[in-house]
Amino acid sequence: MSSAAPDRRSIIADALRKIDDLTERLEIAEQGETEPIAVVGMGCRFPGGVNNPDEYWQLLHEGRSGIVRVPENRWDADEFYSAEQPVPGTICTREGGFLSSWQPDEFDAEFFGISPREAIGMDPQQRLLMEVTWEALENAGITAAQIRGSQTGVFVGLTTTDYIALGYERKGGPEDVNPYITFGNASNFAAGRLSYFLGAQGPAVVVDTACSSSLVTIHLACASLRRRESDQALAAGVNLILTPQNSIATSRWGMLAPDGQCKTFDAAADGYVRSEGAGVVVLKRLYDDRIASRLAAGTVITLQDRDRRLQREV
C-alpha cells in the first residue's frame, strides 16, 4: 500500500501539469482569434493624382473627385458613348476613375530584375503592384534584407485581365504566342512574382471576389497572422481599365452611373463608376511589434445573393 501511494500522487501531479498546459494553450488559441493587427505601412496609387497615403488623405480632406474623362490612350470615349441604353457595343458614360499620375510604360523593370522583353509582356497591373508594394515597405521602414527569407504572406486582390487581350490582338498566328504574355498575365503570377522578388517565405495568394477582392485579402492576411502562418503580411488590391469591353458589358447590364458619379446610400443612386488604382497595407501582429497607432481590430467578409447582403465580422 505504501509503495503504491507515491505512484498515484505522481500520476495526479502529472495530470494537473498537463491540464495547466492545455488550459494555457487553449487561452492562447482563443486570444489568437481576435488578436489585434497593426497596420505598419501603406502605399497607394489612386485617381485624382494620388501617389501616396498623405495625398490620398488630402484628396478626401478637400472633398475632391478623381473622376475624369476616359484618357485618349485607353479608348475613344465619344466613339463608344451612347446616352440611350442598352445599346450593344456602347457605354452610357464617358467618365471613370482613371490614374492620371502613372503610366504602364513608366515601370522601372531593371530595379525589379525584369528584362525589357518580359516587362512589355507583363500585365501592367502586376507592374503597378510591385511598385506600390515597394513603397508600402519603405513606408513601414522594412528593408529588402529584413524581408528576405522572412515568413511574410502576400495576399493580392486582382480581377480583370484586359492586357492579355491587347497583347494577342497585336500578334499573328500560334507561332507568335509569347510566354511572357501568357504567364505574365496569369493572375496567379501576381502574388508569386512579388514573393519571389522579395524572397518572402509565407503564403502567396491571389483572390478574385470581384469588387470585394481587396477586402478579402485583408481578411485572409489577418487570419494568416493570427494562425502564425505569417509573421507579417502584405494585403493588396490592384485594377487597371485598359480596354472598353468590361465597361460595355456593365453598361449593357445597367450597372454604370450615366453621369459618372457614385451616389452611395442616396435615393438618387443609379449605378457605380468603374475605377482603377492600387493599394497595399503592411500588417503585423500588434503585440509582436508593439505598435498601437494604427489598428485593424476586425475584418468583414461580405456575402451577397439576389435579395440580401450578409456580413460576418471576425
CATH number, domain of 141, equals: 3.40.47.10
Identify the three-state secondary structure at position 103.
coil
Q: Are residues 117 and 178 in the same domain?
A: yes
DSSP letter for 277, please: E
Q: Are residues 280 and 205 in the same domain?
A: yes
Q: Are residues 194 and 242 in the same domain?
A: yes
Which residue type, as a one-letter code, is found at position 195?
Answer: S
Q: How much is the average pLDDT of 282-311? A: 57
Each residue's pLDDT tens digit, 257-284? 999 999 989 999 999 999 999 999 999 9
Q: Are residues 129 and 25 in the same domain?
A: no
Q: Are residues 174 and 163 in the same domain?
A: yes
Q: Are residues 184 and 54 in the same domain?
A: yes
Is pLDDT of 294 > 80? Answer: no
Q: How many residues does the chain have?
A: 314
Q: Residues 298, 58: contact at Cβ < 8 Å?
A: no
pLDDT at 183: 87
pLDDT at 13: 85
Q: Which residues of 11-37 are buried (b: 16+ CB within 10 A; e: fewer)?
A: eeeeeeeeeeeeeeeeeeeeeeeebeb
Identify the three-state secondary structure at position 94.
coil
Least-confidence region, from 9-23, 129-143, 233-247: 9-23
**Nearest residue to 276 via CA among 214, 221, 186:** 214
Name the residue range of residue 20's domain. 1-32
Q: Are residues 224 and 202 in the same domain?
A: yes
pLDDT at 5: 54
Higher pLDDT, 242 or 105: 242
pLDDT band at residue 180 under the 50/70/90 scheme: confident
Higher pLDDT, 249 or 303: 249
Q: How much is the average pLDDT of 113-129? A: 93
Alpha helices in 38-185 (DSSP H): 53-62, 77-80, 116-121, 124-140, 144-147, 162-169, 179-184
Q: Residues 250, 274: contact at Cβ < 8 Å?
A: yes
Q: Are residues 6 and 44 in the same domain?
A: no
Average model confidence (pLDDT) across the chain: 87
Q: Are residues 10 and 112 in the same domain?
A: no
Is pLDDT of 313 > 60? Answer: no
Structural domain tally of the chain? 2
Each residue's pLDDT tens digit, 206-237? 999 999 999 999 999 999 999 999 999 999 99
pLDDT at 193: 94
Q: Are residues 22 and 111 in the same domain?
A: no
Q: How far apart are CA 291 and CA 298, in angstroms?
A: 16
Q: Residues 226, 153: contact at Cβ < 8 Å?
A: no
Is pLDDT of 105 > 90? Answer: no
Provide the whole-model pTM: 0.83
pLDDT band at residue 304 under the 50/70/90 scheme: very low
Q: Are residues 6 and 109 in the same domain?
A: no
Q: Are residues 8 and 60 in the same domain?
A: no
